[in-house]
């Protein structure tokens, strides 16, 4: 009689073969040819997204290349990041409620890294091919100015005005660099990490408020007095 043997059991874990996103990898390859050394860093998550970081000098050229050579006709948004860890801590409590002085954390960066405290970021899309890309650029503290995208993507107009007002970044050749929210004599830039939110410095966060009893209810003090 022939005895059939069962397959040997193994404890080896299955090795997942990394996915490759040919469409996004191809976009990166073309951008390297277009921008050369101005393309500082790239990252692709297969079937998810693609990020690139470029030099400040190539910021405007990058917009032109993406629109004219890669069909990125849809402008999504433009904003900025202040990577400085808050000198005030997490700000869940007022400064007076923190038992010990806040120890500043080291500065870290997100996808594609960074070298400066401030970064500008934007996102555009090729709607026909369902492909988007996120752009980043480092800005030195000593020169927070950069060319405006408004001549390439008119939709950047409002976004650049907001970033200028909130972070103190100047967009060169912007057609209408006026404020959106704050009064003309307002001092400081509210979205910077070192901008002190006085309401959180002076009283416990989210703040102590007086709460009146509902009709027919007695407070604890009234019950004690009775």
The predicted structure's pLDDT at residue 102: 55
Contacts of 220 (CB under 8 A, 6+ apart): none
- 39-66, pLDDT tens digit by residue? 999 999 999 999 999 999 999 999 999 9
The predicted structure's pLDDT at residue 162: 97
Q: Is the pLDDT of residue 201 over 70?
A: no
pTM of the entire predicted model: 0.75
Other CB atoms within 10 A of residue 22 CB: 8
Q: Is the pLDDT of residue 138 over 90?
A: yes
Regarding predicted confidence, which is higher, 225 or 107?
A: 107
Q: Is the pLDDT of residue 115 over 60?
A: yes
Other CB atoms within 10 A of residue 141 CB: 9
Tell me what the mean pLDDT of segment 118-131 comes to: 96
Regarding predicted confidence, which is higher, 222 or 106?
A: 106
Q: Name the percent of the chain lying above pLDDT 70.
A: 71
Regarding predicted confidence, which is higher, 85 or 225?
A: 85
Q: How far apart are CA 19 and CA 95, in angstroms?
A: 48
Q: How far apart are CA 82 and CA 64, in angstroms?
A: 26
Q: What are the structure tokens assigned to 120, written together?
A: 């500008």
- 148-167, pLDDT tens digit by residue? 999 999 999 999 999 999 99
For the segment(s) 22-208, the CATH number from 3.30.230.10, 3.40.50.300, 3.30.460.80, 3.30.470.20 is 3.30.460.80
Tell me what the mean pLDDT of segment 191-214 comes to: 62
Q: Is 64 left (phi over 0), alpha (psi -120 to 50) or beta?
A: alpha
Q: Are the beta carbons of 135 and 52 closer than 8 angstroms?
A: yes
* Spatial strand order in the sheet of 74-82: 39-45, 49-54, 131-139, 118-126, 74-82
The predicted structure's pLDDT at residue 166: 95
How many CA atoms lie within 13 Å of 64's alpha carbon, on the beta-carbon side? 10
Q: Is the pLDDT of residue 104 over 80?
A: no
The predicted structure's pLDDT at residue 207: 47
Range in 14-23, 62-71, 205-214 the model is least confident about: 205-214
Mean pLDDT of the chain: 83
Tell me what the mean pLDDT of segment 88-117 comes to: 70
CA-CA-CA-CA torsion for 90, 96, 102, 107, nearest 10 degrees?
A: 40
The residues facing 120 across adjacent strands are: 80, 137
């Amino acid at each position: 009689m022939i005895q059939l043997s069962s397959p040997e059991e193994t404890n080896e874990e299955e090795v997942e073969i990394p996915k490759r996103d040919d469409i996004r990898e191809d976009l990166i390859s073309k951008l390297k040819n277009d921008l050369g050394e101005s393309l500082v860093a790239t990252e692709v998550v297969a079937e998810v997204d693609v990020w690139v970081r470029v030099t400040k000098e190539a910021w405007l050229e990058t917009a032109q290349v993406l629109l004219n050579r890669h069909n990125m006709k849809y402008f999504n948004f433009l904003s900025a990041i202040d990577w400085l860890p808050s000198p005030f801590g997490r700000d869940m409590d007022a400064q007076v409620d923190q038992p010990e002085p806040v120890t500043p954390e080291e500065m870290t960066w997100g996808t594609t890294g960074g070298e400066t405290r401030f970064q500008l970021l934007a996102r555009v899309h090729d709607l026909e091919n369902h492909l988007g890309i996120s752009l980043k650029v480092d800005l030195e503290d000593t020169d927070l100015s950069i060319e405006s995208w408004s001549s390439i993507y008119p939709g950047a107009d409002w976004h650049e005005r907001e970033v200028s007002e909130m972070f103190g970044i100047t967009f060169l050749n912007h057609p209408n660099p006026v404020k959106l929210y704050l009064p003309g004599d307002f001092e400081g830039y509210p979205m910077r990490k070192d901008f002190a939110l006085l309401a959180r410095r002076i009283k416990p966060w989210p703040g102590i408020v007086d709460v009146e009893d509902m009709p027919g209810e007695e407070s604890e003090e009234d019950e004690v007095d009775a």
